[in-house]
Amino acid sequence: MATATATNTVEAKVREASDKNAARRLRTTGMIPAVLYGAKKAPRAIAVDPKQILKILRSASGHNTIFEVNVEGEQDKAMVVDWQYEPLKGSLLHVDLKRIAMDQIMRLSVPVQVKGEAKGAKEEGGLLDLVLREIQIECLPADIPSHITVDVTNLGRGEAIRVADLPKSETVKYLTDPDATVVHITYVKEEAVAAPVEGVAATAEPEVIKKGKTDVEPEAAAKDTKKK
């Protein structure tokens, strides 16, 4: 499992004012307001470069990435725990950063990444259905995986991979229900053949009347009448 620890550093500055007008003025300079808290330290109002934060959020490990935040010479390990986008432009408006104690176990969710082409979808006409897109785990910050890989190559139609089937690790503990389905191959519903149209009666097969030995042909019946 690839870890979510990054070597990049987010540079931050202390900000004093925290009202809306101050936030607008700050954004005009290319910075955005942020809050740094956690690890039994006092919260700090800071300003950060949104480009550095977006780089982290768009990385493989996303908001689970642990990075250095440097507040005017004071460094801490941190993670992005909350962020706000501008609805129309999609630009970052505000972020919350949490200090991380590297010797304390964390609980968090990491994404599931599918590997391979399932046999049940490729050869047996099934459909691959990813049920769980994230798995809740528990581990030390340095051991946080960027994702959980699920190999579906040998997964046949009607089969499933559950949390209990995921790759085992000495450093990561799965907290999601072991019986929960992560991914499975579902059946493709076959379309009904020659289904009757609603409101239209089905046409009955024409009845075939078979003649028996007692049946009398019309001509033979006429001759018998004349003889009499």
pLDDT tens digits, 114-165: 999 999 998 998 999 999 999 999 999 999 999 999 999 999 999 999 999 9
C-alpha span between 158 and 187 (Å, rounded): 7
* Inside any domain, residue 12: yes
If asked whether residues 149 and 175 sit together in one domain, one would say yes
| CATH code of 81's domain | 2.40.240.10
C-alpha span between 47 and 63 (Å, rounded): 18
If asked whether residues 136 and 77 sit together in one domain, one would say no
Query: Average pLDDT, stretch 30-45?
Result: 94
Tokens of 85: 């986008």
Maximum C-alpha span of the chain: 132
Range of 181's domain?
Answer: 106-186
* Inside any domain, residue 221: no
pLDDT of residue 88: 87
Closest CA to 30 of 11, 48, 8: 48
What amino acid occupies position 93? Answer: L
If asked whether residues 93 and 121 sit together in one domain, one would say no
Name the 3-class secondary structure at 115: strand
Q: Answer yes or no: are the C-beta atoms of 49 and 10 closer than 8 Å.
A: yes
pLDDT of residue 48: 97
Give me the residue label for tokens 């969710």. 109
Q: Considering its fold, how many domains does the chain have in total?
A: 2
pLDDT of residue 19: 81
Split at pLDDT 50, 70, 90, the class of 2 is: low
* Inside any domain, residue 212: no
DSSP bridge pairs for 78: 67, 99
Query: Average pLDDT, stretch 170-181?
Result: 96
* Inside any domain, residue 211: no
pLDDT of residue 105: 95
Mean pLDDT of the chain: 84
If asked whether residues 93 and 12 sit together in one domain, one would say yes
Closest CA to 11 of 40, 52, 42: 52
- Poorest-confidence range of 14-18, 89-93, 96-100? 14-18
C-alpha span between 218 and 228 (Å, rounded): 16
Collect all residues with Cβ–Cβ distance below 8 Å to 6 and sequence separation of at least 6: 56, 59, 61, 65, 66, 67
pLDDT of residue 1: 59
C-alpha span between 60 and 57 (Å, rounded): 8
Give me the residue label for tokens 């956690």. 38
What amino acid occupies position 3? Answer: T
The torsion angles phi and psi of 51, rounded to 5 degrees, stand at: -65, -40
Q: Which long-range contacts (CB under 8 A, 24 or more apart) does 70-73 make?
A: 70/9, 70/10, 70/11, 70/12, 71/12, 71/13, 71/14, 71/36, 71/44, 71/46, 72/12, 72/13, 72/14
pTM over 0.85: no
DSSP bridge pairs for 10: 69
pLDDT of residue 218: 42
Q: pLDDT tens-digit profile of 177-208?
A: 999 999 999 987 654 344 444 444 444 444 44
pLDDT of residue 8: 80
Q: Which of 47, 73, 99 is the last residue of a domain?
A: 99
If asked whether residues 23 and 91 sit together in one domain, one would say yes
Query: Average pLDDT, stretch 49-73?
Result: 94
- Poorest-confidence range of 12-26, 111-125, 166-180? 12-26
pLDDT of residue 7: 63
Output 176 or 217, whichever has higher pLDDT. 176
Query: Average pLDDT, stretch 20-34?
Result: 93
First to last CA, the chain: 107
